[in-house]
Structure 1
Amino acid sequence: MSDLQQRFEQAQNDVKQLPERPSNMTLLRLYALFKQGSEGDVHGDKPGMTDFVGRYKFEAWETLKGTSQEEAMQKYIELVEELKSGAAS
């Protein structure tokens, strides 16, 4: 397992231990970076108009299309570190 993969997995654990809940926009960013880092480009059907949360998540992930999995993992790790230090919310 690569160092990046290990740090990505550690960040996934760390995000569950944050002292306060991030804003909804930050949660969407975390979700999109996690999905891009773990699965690559968005796939599947876009949720319907009545599934607001699913649609927002899909669209957030879709904005990262073309981003490498390694770059997404690194950005996820950096965002979690910012949240841990209180620099982002």
Structure 2
Amino acid sequence: MIELGGNINLENFEDVDRGLLIVIKKVVGNYTKKISEKEKDFKKITVTLVKDSKYKIKVELETSETKKSESENPNLFFALDRSLSEFLD
């Protein structure tokens, strides 16, 4: 697991290309900032890359309650965007 800033966890991203991981961290960080501004009781977000899948992403948002989203796409960034943007709707 990769921990970013204490309130962001990336699970199963250890084997992702280093260049891609830099972009993933920025995308997740930007979304987390927007989500934490919207969700006043924001505690933590966990983004999981499901092993043995073609970019299936699961996101768990911890606030006063736990919210979850999931997305799968052959493009990792589309899957990441779709699963994180659900918390901003």
For Structure 1 versus Structure 2, the TM-score category normalised by the shorter chain is under 0.3
Q: Which has the higher contact order (CA 8 A, sep 6+)?
A: 1
Relative to its length, the structure with more strand (as a share) is: 2
Bigger radius of gyration, 1 or 2? 1
